[in-house]
Amino acid sequence: MGMLDGKVAIITGATSGIGARTAELFVEEGARVLFTGRRRPEGEALQQRLGKAARFEQADATVEADWKRVLDQALAQFGRLDCLFNNAGGPAPTGSITGIPVEGFDAAMALLVRSVMLGMKHAAPVMMRQCSGSIVNNGSIAAHLAGYSSSMVYAAAKAAVNHLSRCVAMELGEHNVRVNSVSPGLIATGIMPKALGMEAGKADRLVAELAPRYARMQPIPRAGAPDDIAQCVLWLASEHSSFVNGTDIVVDGGMIGGRMYSPQQEGLKQMKAALGL
């Protein structure tokens, strides 16, 4: 028996990476899934792999009219909505605050924050009528500490996502609708190359090359994988987490837990040697 048997989910930004793996896992666990993204070829290919339990709808998560259409399609096809995973995202302007382009800032905030707000705005009435539902928003460890993203704008946007999730959880919890966020660490997807200016398709193909670099950057000696986040989202979407609300779960292999042990010990050895001890 699957963890999501009989449930219906919408997943945004699901044409690659975390979103695609979450759609696969939800179907494996018994859910019917409507997933969205802006890249039609990738979306249609994933729908073909997932079969009749999944439907791809090309949509831009920053556009309210697209959200209305997506919700209408989900209700027309499946009759209800049990989970929303607001996963759509992408890179934001990098560099000094002195050089951030206003149009880049606005576009990043639309993609990373407005999309989440719109998803909750349009999913909430459906779930409130049902007196049930789970909304999961994709945050980031960059929301917790400065310096964990190539972009301070991205970090600020994700901090907004995490706090907006808590604020909305206080309202919707009164209707038995839960809102939580998950904050990934270094996950081997194409988002870093995209942030540095690489074309999306090429960036996605570089994942295998990124993994060994990421593996050295947190106590758990491997790169994070999309499945690590998908498993957390699955739990938050399921009844196993029915008393979890207004929480952010960090999935980062311990990256923001503190200083790594071995480099710290090496530093102590050097200090002792310098002191002649």
Measured in whole angstroms, the distance separating CA 193 from the mean position of its chain's CA atoms is 17
- Spatial neighbors of 276 by CB under 8 A, at least 6 apart, are none
Question: Distance (Å, rounded) from C-alpha 31 to C-alpha 166?
Answer: 26
Hey, what are 214's tokens? 């990421």
For residues 82 and 130, give the distance between their C-alpha atoms in angstroms, rounded to a whole number.
Answer: 9
152, 199 contact by CB (below 8 A): no
154 labelled catalytic: yes
Residue 147, Cβ neighbours under 10 Å: how many? 8
Report the candidate in 70, 8, 9 with the shortest Cα–Cα distance to residue 38: 70
Q: Which residue in the list 148, 154, 214, 261 is annotated as catalytic?
A: 154
Catalytic amino acids?
A: 154
